[in-house]
Structure 1
Amino acid sequence: MTATGRWDWSRVDVTVPARPPAPGVQMAGFRYHDVAPVDITMIPHPSVTVLLDLSENGVVYDVLGRPVTGNAIVGLRAGTLRITGAGTGDVLQIRLSPVVAAAMLRDSGIIGGTVTPLPELWGSGTDILTERLRSMPSWDDRFALATAFLRSRVPREFGVAPEIAYAWGRTVHTSGLVRVETLAAETGWTRQRLWSRFRTHVGVSPKHASELVRFDRAAHLLAVGRSPADVAAEAGYVDQSHLHRRTKAITDMTPTVVARAPWLAIDERAWAPS
């Protein structure tokens, strides 16, 4: 997820693993030192996000007026998401590619959904994991524990079809510009079969997945100061008006507001490409 609104990231320590935990998995630990209340609006990102709240005061996620407290999983259709909390404390954030999430979570409704309380997926194991993470002496220990837990959630007999994994990989590699018809031809599937199987496992259509990837690229270009017109051309939108319409549809914000998203300012620290 990506956040907008004013936030002083100099008051936040960001720690990442020395090496990627696994293909398609990224982790970052955030330690908030500011005592001021947290109030951040987040926008969609082309990954499934697991948020483990290790603070004592609790974090609240609000999507479409429905509050979710504590640990949560944010799906690919979260839309605009507001996060509030007491400010101090630790949060472990895990990003899963949709392909990894499909194998690990085995619930396309959650993957392609909005925000789900984590206990609904992992039951009492969520509280046990959270308490163990809180007791860990370092972020490295926390990353190792979280990685082991995630690996334990992948059943040996379940896997995503190679065609789906290929389609997602190509979507990311082309920044969301590859056509569904091209993906179908390259996988050897019909367009209808690719569309159906992709939705079944990932929870969204290939077109929606492409739009998330394309928008993510546009958001990062806007954040480094590129003009909306240049971003529209480079990110594959018809024109600046098209970029504006799609940004409003996805985030209910204008490209100008998205360009000031403070979370993007630390993306290279927290979410450097694997």
Structure 2
Amino acid sequence: MVAWADVAVPRPAACPPGVGMAGFRQRPGTPAAELAMVAYPLVTVFIDLGDSGGAGWQSSGGYRRGSVVAGLLPGDFRATCHRAECLQIRLEPIAAAALADLSGTVATLEEVWGRDAARAEERLRAARSWDERFAIAAGVLGRRLGVRHPVDPEVAQSWRRIRASHGRLRVETLADEVGWSRKRLWSRFRAQLGVSPKRAARLVRFDRAVHLLAAGHAPAGVATVSGYSDQPHLHREVQEFAGLTPTAVAAAPWLSVDHVAWPARTTPRRIGMQGL
């Protein structure tokens, strides 16, 4: 349950590989809200479906209305919602790399997709249900994914290993596993995914830690299980990626919707710290 919005999610088989989707409709009578984005290891497409332009986006690149795309580590990025309705699409970087070169930027959907952006928005607004919208978005993404060159298999494997290890593998280990030098992996990974493998690992580790914090676990235990050297190390990472303290990020509105909108990738709220 989310206090400020109704949330719709697609059936698991409705999304292309490496893609997640959720629909948000701000509830009538709820006041305008400002949500600070908490960085996570995914590229995000926000498609504004409201009739009154109820979604606005503030980033270091300025203020925008309408549909936008946020790359990895977009910095200070805030959403302003007033009677907003939006389709949010989250893409694994190895999938997003086939759609656009983002490298951490925030751009309008038109800047990334060109004329396809307006056509997609028109079809999505005309759809009669969220299921129809999810099907339309999956079709658009599937066609775009099919015409761009994918990332190198070695880069894709390294990204998956970073995710599977919760960001705790060394770059040297990843390079050995794919048969590349450390320098080559670093260069190709950064060129294709927009961040270095070390930065990606830090972001994946941070993402796991903040979801554990949001689930109610104490910072000291989260630091230990997430691979930080100590609690001050966790504090520094949260401050760098979110601009907040661990206590504040645990209560961030952006994270409060994840267990509803993205249950497949959110840490369960009632779980022992052992074995995580």
TM-score, normalisation: structure 1 = 0.91
Matches within 5 A, 1:72-151: 72-86=68-82, 88-105=83-100, 107=101, 110=102, 112-151=103-142
Quote the sequence identity (%).
47
More displaced stretch, 176-185 vs 63-72: 63-72
Deviation string 1:165-221 (CA, Å, 9 cap, x unpaired) is 110101110111111110000010000000000011101100111111100000011
Greater CA drift, 88-97 or 28-37: 28-37
Number of residue-to-residue matches in the alignment: 262
Paired with 2:146 and 2:20, the residues of 1 have a C-alpha distance of 20
CA contact (8 A) 1:180 1:206 kept: yes
1:19 matched to 2:26:
no
Letter in 2 for 1:237: Y
- Matched-pair contact (CA < 8 Å) for 2:35–2:253: no
How far apart are residue 157 of structure 1 and its match? 6.2
- Any conservation in 2 of the 1:63–1:114 contact (CA below 8 Å)? no
Q: Which moved more, 1:227-236 or 1:16-25?
A: 16-25
Whether the aligned pair in 2 keeps the contact of 1:57 and 1:85 (CA below 8 Å) is no
Secondary structure of the structure 2 residue equivalent to 1:43: coil
Match of 1:162 in 2: 153
Does the CA contact (< 8 Å) of 1:68 and 1:115 recur in 2?
A: no
- Provide the residue aligned with 2:22 in structure 1: 28
Task: Name whichever of 150-159 and 88-97 sits farther off.
Answer: 150-159
Cα distance in structure 1, aligned partners of 2:60 and 2:153 = 35
Distance 1:10 1:167, change over 3 A: same
Give the whole-Å Cα distance in 2 for the aligned partners of 1:47 and 1:157.
19
Distance in 2 separating the partners of 1:153 and 1:209? 24
1:171 to 2:165 alignment: no
2:11 alignment partner AA: A
Asked whether the 8 Å contact 1:44–1:80 carries over to 2, the reply is no
Alignment partner, residue 46 of structure 1: 41
Structure 1 runs of 4+ with >3 Å offset: none
How many Å separate the matches in 1 of 2:240 and 2:254? 20
Instruction: Answer yes or no: is the 8 Å Cα contact 2:41–2:204 preserved in 1.
Output: yes
Q: Aligned residue for 1:216?
A: 207
For structure 2, which runs of at least 5 residues remain unmatched after alignment?
Answer: 266-276
Contact 1:219 1:258 in 2 (8 A): yes
**RMSD of aligned residue pairs (Cα, Å):** 1.6
Other structure's SS at 2:37 match: strand
